[in-house]
Structure 1
Amino acid sequence: MRVKTITALFTAALVATSLTLTGCSSSDDNSDLVTVNAGEPQNPLVPTNTNENMGGRVVDRLWAGLKYYDAKGVSHNEMAQSIETTDRQHYKITIKPDWKFTDGTTVTSKSFVDAWNYGALGTNAQLQNWVFPPIVGYDEVAANPPTAQTMSGLKIVDDHTFTVDLKQPSIDFELELGFAPFYPLPEAAFKDMKAYGENPIGNGPYKFASADAWQHNVQIDLVPNPDYPGGRPAKNNGLRFKMYQNMDTAYADLLQGNLDVLDVIPDVALASYEQDLGDRAIHKPIAYSQHIGIQPTVPHFSGPEGVLRRKAISMAINREQIATNIFHGTRVPAKDFTAFTLDGFRENLPGAEVLKFNPDEAKKLWAQADAISPWSGTYQIAYNSDGGHQGWIEAVANSVKNTLGIDAVGAPYPTFKNIRDEIHNHNVGKAFRYGWQGDYPSMFEFLTALFLSTSETNDVDYKSPEFDRLLNTALAAPTPAAAYDILAQAQAVLFQDMADIPIFDYNVAAGRSDRVKKAEVAWSGLFDFENIEK
């Protein structure tokens, strides 16, 4: 677990590599767009079906929702003129008039209602469907009998007003209304949603620069939307999301001024990036957690045997040592299943001792699992090579191997899209690294998205009626404090079942080039893109 320091020679080698791979030179001004690191999105850019980092960073620039979140995670009304409720169960939402999509059509209350119904409809299998179950009528639409195409809890009053009825009061609903699956869609989207996602029409601060702005596996170019009337107008001439296969290459481009901002400093540079970048280095706590999951179809990881093995592996990982030796304080050993920056976070939850390095207990639990079914094979951990994960995955595998005496290795996939496709299709066949980066600042988002039985983003296929019940009870709590007490009980269930293996929370390590005078990392760990200034 050694970490090298960037040297002038090494940097020069990286720069040479980057110019070869990206096809750009130091004289390329990128048409004065702000260049930011990215990767190929998993799917076409449809808000209800974009649940991963690379697509999400683009989607949130193209759309405006009822609310938005500033760099500190504070919510503000965006398209909402007002959101009224007396009981947190029945809502009247009024939107601002004269707001346009970039095709010139008007955003109406129907634009929201149609988009939400599309996201909830079972046959559409949208990855962000997990936000809609609280709405009355969702169950019928999700099951998708011919008679239920729309949720009965959504009603259009007029062009600027609609109502939402929930099954029960929710302490989280209004906060999440700035989240992508609640964005509106224009009528044009429903003619061919896949084609629409390749060249989307939104209503946000940016729009596609041209019909061919998305050059797959290369870049996506956005330019300011001159008709955007909201609270986060672009303070730059546009954004170029450059897709990298290697974070070392991205860092070399940052040092050379061929990349304007980078939100993932590679392991090899963590010991030196603050010296390399000076006051252009960025380091702060963010709402981002890293996990290792494994689906129950993998041999030895279902039922009681799987619980024992997941707990044993968790206690075989020396998180403190890996965080120190590889990440230089930019990662924090996980203490729960959410993120340590969120309101309601608590250390020392019941069952959280399984997140501490304990070789003796790990071996004991592994032996108990062997008594059920003797271990065979190799423990593999899949990761995407384009995300800078090789170092820590190999360290985790070595920690497991040395503690439990089994073969354990990292299993690289070329790109983020490659691994996400296999995980989502449930054919990855091995353990895998996956993270969750906050879309809106709430513990509910992490717990619902990752572990609710019906969530399309429940990558580990965790099913627990008791967890689901506690989550819904927490939503109906009268105060945040009461909700956090119940969420602690829900997380105790996750620890009991060892739903997955939380590894790290994040202190972001990021940076800007000398061509940028202002660039702030937001609460989630992504840049506050609209406010980047060259």
Structure 2
Amino acid sequence: MTKHDKDGKIVNGQAKDIKVSDDHLTYTATLRDDIKWSDGKAVTAGDFVYAWQRGVDPKTASEYANIFDPIKNATKIRNGEKKADGTAYAPSELGIVAKDDKTLEITLEAPCAYIMELFTFPTYMPVRKDIIDAKGDQWTQDPTTYVSNGCYMLKDWSHKESMTYVKNPNYYDKDSVTNDTLKFMLIEDDAAQLAAYQNNEIQFAYQFPVDEIAAWKDKPDYHTINQLGTYLVCYNTQKAPFNDPRVRKALSLAIDRNYLVEKVTKGGETPADAMVSTGVTDQDASKQFHDVGGGYYSVKPEDYEKNVAEAKKLLAEAGFPDGKGFPAFEYIFNTSSKHQSVAEALQNMWKTELGINATLSSQEWAVFVDTRNKGNFSVARHGWLADYNDPISYLTLWVTGDANNSGKYSNKDYDALIKKALSTDDNSVRMPAMHDAEKILMDDMGIAPLFFYTHPYLMNTNLKNFYESPLGFDFFMYTTVE
């Protein structure tokens, strides 16, 4: 219904008007009259209702089902909760109703400070019931059934090779779209992507080997953006010895984060001393949540020796003096030159400073995600780009039972604080609760943040008007080629 403009501000998109009730619990959205699907059919309020109900339905098993939690009954539906009569809450009981083809009424569980941000998120976008009924989950695999309502439509998909998009002639703002065709080359290998860029086969390289950053940094092709995201280590907190907070903290303190960003990743990242990254606003919008909360351990280069001394002390208290008796464990990560380099650095730091042995396991993305989600690991690479500019996007991950809580971290006081933050849109209540929750998480060292993300990329100097959101979305619709 809404979208981000070039300045990152939320503006109306498919909706021409959104009204809010005095109690901030009901949102009435009026859709534009000229919105259509790529096959020419009108986009209706019912398409939004179907998409949201499908998103929370446990049968869909969406990894992003919890992003609907601010909507009335969403949590009850996706968790299969029962009503007093013993029947489960049905997707049809979600707090969204089509009053007519152009009017949506949305009811929330509680006032939500970031609901307009959620309305921009892909999971909140409409989908077509008739297409999915006919094709099931395969509807996105074929250009003839991949019906969309955005500015581009899929023309060709050569699997593992390329995807070609063409301007959607039915898009309401098609005259502002500057390119008729966009072709994305599907190149997994970083070195191959750089070679394609150097050979002028592509004009935009989303990623390239970290060892090449220094060679490109001073060239006009090189760009970087600070993202709202955190790269971290995830412990399996239900598996010994990582069920001991002292062990988790020892491994974290032994990590030289400055070495990582200066010698390994080299993309201008910032050493992380908290879960919520820099750039996220606090109660006073002129201040950052990170700056108000502060760091939970020192990342100053001069304090690294003190951190290592504390790590050794904690490891001894946990029963592993100088690493003796500490079981060898596996650190898993998804295939990437960057992740490989980080993994090797961590392996060396843990061995050199603590005397413990980690083996490394690089896995293809689908295998890696499945392994991590099932908890079949000891320590794993993790990372998170915020879905919207609010600390809660980082902190709900570690609530007991959350789908993204791969390490199965659990703390009832943490859960209670997050529940409190979710119960109101009053930032004078929400922000202190989230600061307190982050402190618990970091005191427990349920995870070990390493650095706050940046995104280095290469772009041909003849491309103009491309922009990227700190949330990780890339916008090519207004790009021009000179």
Aligned equivalent of 2:435, options 477, 481, 488: 488
**Equivalent residue for 1:56?**
none
Q: Does 1:499 align with 2:446?
A: yes
The residue type paired with residue 151 of structure 1 is E
**Equivalent residue for 1:81?**
16
Q: Measure how far apart 1:232 and its partner are.
A: 9.7
2:131, 2:375 → 1: CA distance? 28
Tell me the SS of whatever aligns to 2:217: helix
Aligned equivalent of 1:157, options 99, 102, 113: 99
1:478, 1:139 → 2: CA distance? 18
**Equivalent residue for 2:285?**
none
Mapping of residues 76-475 of structure 1, within 5 Å: 76-85=11-20, 86-144=22-80, 145=87, 148-191=90-133, 192-199=135-142, 200-210=146-156, 213=157, 215-230=158-173, 233-275=176-218, 278-302=219-243, 305=244, 307-328=245-266, 330-344=268-282, 345-347=289-291, 349=293, 352-353=296-297, 357=304, 358-370=307-319, 375-386=325-336, 388-413=338-363, 415-427=364-376, 429-448=377-396, 450-475=397-422
Q: Measure how far apart 1:87 and its partner are.
A: 2.2
Tell me the SS of whatever aligns to 2:229: strand
Q: Measure how far apart 1:104 and its partner are.
A: 2.7
1:478, 1:129 → 2: CA distance? 21
The residue type paired with residue 98 of structure 2 is I
1:115 and 1:354, CA in 2 relative to 1: closer, same or farther beyond 3 A?
farther
1:193, 1:312 → 2: CA distance? 48
Aligned equivalent of 1:531, options 454, 478, 482: 478
1:522 and 1:389, CA in 2 relative to 1: closer, same or farther beyond 3 A?
same
1:143 and 1:331, CA in 2 relative to 1: closer, same or farther beyond 3 A?
closer
Q: Measure how far apart 1:176 and its partner are.
A: 1.4
- Higher RCO (C-alpha 8 Å, min separation 6): 1
The residue type paired with residue 413 of structure 2 is E
2:169, 2:404 → 1: CA distance? 35
Q: Measure how far apart 1:147 and its partner are.
A: 6.1
Q: Measure how far apart 1:354 and its partner are.
A: 7.1
What CA deviation, in whole Å up to 9, does each residue of 1:242-294 have, x standing for no partner? 2223212212222221221123242111111123xx22211332212211113
Contact between 1:111 and 1:187, CA under 8 Å: does it hold in 2? yes
1:245, 1:134 → 2: CA distance? 36
Tell me the SS of whatever aligns to 1:174: helix
1:510 and 1:526, CA in 2 relative to 1: closer, same or farther beyond 3 A?
farther
1:481, 1:256 → 2: CA distance? 54
1:322 and 1:161, CA in 2 relative to 1: closer, same or farther beyond 3 A?
same
**Equivalent residue for 1:14?**
none
**Equivalent residue for 1:9?**
none
What CA deviation, in whole Å up to 9, does each residue of 1:328-383 have, x standing for no partner? 35111013212212212224747711767410111111222237998543233212
Q: How many residues of Structure 1 are paired with residues of Structure 2 in the alignment?
A: 458
Cα RMSD over matched residues? 2.6
Q: Measure how far apart 1:230 and its partner are.
A: 4.2
Tell me the SS of whatever aligns to 1:460: coil
The residue type paired with residue 369 of structure 1 is A
The residue type paired with residue 90 of structure 1 is T
1:234, 1:499 → 2: CA distance? 45
The residue type paired with residue 140 of structure 2 is G
2:400, 2:15 → 1: CA distance? 31
Q: Measure how far apart 1:189 and its partner are.
A: 4.0
Contact between 1:236 and 1:532, CA under 8 Å: does it hold in 2? yes
- Percent identical pairs in the alignment equals 23
2:48, 2:174 → 1: CA distance? 19
2:34, 2:316 → 1: CA distance? 66
1:477 and 1:263, CA in 2 relative to 1: closer, same or farther beyond 3 A?
same
What CA deviation, in whole Å up to 9, does each residue of 1:138-161 have, x standing for no partner? 244224456623234222211111
2:106, 2:308 → 1: CA distance? 51
Tell me the SS of whatever aligns to 1:381: strand
Q: Measure how far apart 1:208 and its partner are.
A: 0.9
1:193 and 1:440, CA in 2 relative to 1: closer, same or farther beyond 3 A?
farther
What CA deviation, in whole Å up to 9, does each residue of 1:168-212 have, x standing for no partner? 1111112211011111111224314311132332211111114xx
What CA deviation, in whole Å up to 9, does each residue of 1:389-417 have, x standing for no partner? 2112211221122111111243212x323
| Gap regions ≥5 residues in structure 1 | 1-65
1:465 and 1:240, CA in 2 relative to 1: closer, same or farther beyond 3 A?
farther
The two structures have a TM-score, normalised by structure 1, of: 0.79
The residue type paired with residue 327 of structure 1 is T
Contact between 1:316 and 1:404, CA under 8 Å: does it hold in 2? yes
1:461, 1:219 → 2: CA distance? 37
Contact between 1:263 and 1:527, CA under 8 Å: does it hold in 2? no
The two structures have a TM-score, normalised by structure 2, of: 0.87
Tell me the SS of whatever aligns to 1:94: strand
Tell me the SS of whatever aligns to 1:346: helix
Q: Measure how far apart 1:236 and its partner are.
A: 2.0
Contact between 1:263 and 1:525, CA under 8 Å: does it hold in 2? no
